[in-house]
Structures are given as structure tokens and as C-alpha cells.
Amino acid sequence: MPRPDVSVERKAQILEAALRVFDRQGFAQTRMKDIAAEAGLSVGILYHYFADKESLLEALLEHLFVTDLQTTARAFQCGKSVRECLWEYFEQHLLAEMRFLNAGLELRAAAARHPHLRARLLVFEKEYFDLLLSLIERGMSSGELRPAPPEIIALTLLSLYDGLLENLPRLLPESQEAARRERIRQAFDLVFQGLLA
């Protein structure tokens, strides 16, 4: 049996620690020693894996992009109706993203200040949008969704998702996850009803 690659495990440990620290402190205020402490490593070991905070940011964004695209592709190919696939995606991903909302906002803002990261972010968003378009087109060809420009439906769903992500945490604290889930369901049903054939 092959032994696990310690460097892969260590990098994942560092990236998870960085995400937690960025969520708490923000990207600009975070120092490499904060991430090392969160990961339970020495600063020297952290620098062995990442030359600086920017290279760590780049690795973290790439990890999050790849993971998100993989889970989105699986969710959108769930073998159920378009409505069920989208609902499961909304429920699982929104609640998960809300747990690290500050980090998500910080990472996007930091990426916007680095041209190569901004370019990678645009590629990721295009790939994500294409996955959503494919699901919508499947719903239209199966007769589940009413005829409408697929891009407009995608933008509507993305606006709903982003709006809930931004506003729901301000209205309901994390301790009220059941209430958050119910509000997500109500908003999703309200919008999706207008998309049905």
C-alpha cells in the first residue's frame, strides 16, 4: 500500500489554517506567523512550503477554485431534476460559504489586486457559469424550465445566491442555521417557481 504524501497533507493543513485566519483577521492583517501558529507549525516549515503570503494566497485560491468546480459539477449532474440538483447545491454550498464569509470576501478583494489572480478568478467564474448554463439548458430541453434566454436564468440564479450569501448572515446569526436553511428554501422556491414551464 503506498504511503500518503506528507507534503500534500501538510499543504492542505496550511491552506485550511490560512482560510480560518483570513476569516478572523482579514488578509492584510494576517502575518505568516499567524498562519503557522494556526496550523501548529513553525514559521520555518511554513516558509518551506510557501515563499510568502501572496504565494499562499495563490495556492489557496487555486485549491478553492478546483474544489468548488468539482463539487459544482457533481451537484449539477446529480441525476435528479434540475430543481432538485439546484436546491441541493444552494442549501449545501450557501450554508458552507456563510461559515467563511469574511474569508471569501477577503480572498476576492486580495485577488483583485493581483493581475494574474484576477485573470484566474475570471476563468473560474466563466467555468462555473458554463456549468450552470449546461444545467439550465438540460432543464429547458427536458421541458422542466420554461423557454427563456439561459444566460438570463443563470444571472437570476447567481443574483439570488449572492444576495442570500451577503444578506442572510446579517439577518440571522450562525447559531440559527435551521432558520437560515428555511429562508434559503423560501427564497429559492419563490424564484424557481417563476422558471418552471
Q: What share of the chain in percent tops pLDDT 70? A: 97
Q: What pLDDT score does 115 carry?
A: 87
Residue intervals of the chain classified under CATH 1.10.10.60 are 1-50
Q: What pLDDT score does 6 carry?
A: 55
Average pLDDT over residues 15-27: 92
Average pLDDT over residues 80-100: 92
Check pLDDT > 60 for residue 57.
yes
Q: What pLDDT score does 1 carry?
A: 53
List the CATH code of the domain at 53-193. 1.10.357.10
Residue intervals of the chain classified under CATH 1.10.357.10 are 53-193
pLDDT, one tens digit per residue, over 109-138 is 888 888 888 898 899 999 999 999 999 999
Grid look-up 460559504 returns 97
Using alpha carbons, list the distances in angstroms from residue 100 to 19, 82, 93, 94, 162: 8, 27, 11, 10, 14
Grid look-up 504565494 returns 55
Q: Give which of 96, 68, 59 is closest to 177, Cα–Cα.
A: 96
Provide the b/e sequence for 44-67 (b: ≥16 CB within 10 Å). Answer: eebeebbeebeebbbbbbebbbee
- Tally: H helices and E strands in the chain: 9, 0
CATH class of 1-50: mainly alpha
Task: Say how far apart CA 75 and CA 87 lie, in whole Å.
Answer: 10
Grid look-up 503506498 returns 2
- Measured on CA atoms in the order 143, 145, 146, 148, is the torsion positive or negative? negative
First to last CA, the chain: 53
User: Is residue 185 within 8 Å of 88, Cβ to Cβ?
Assistant: no
Q: What share of the chain in percent tops pLDDT 90? A: 72
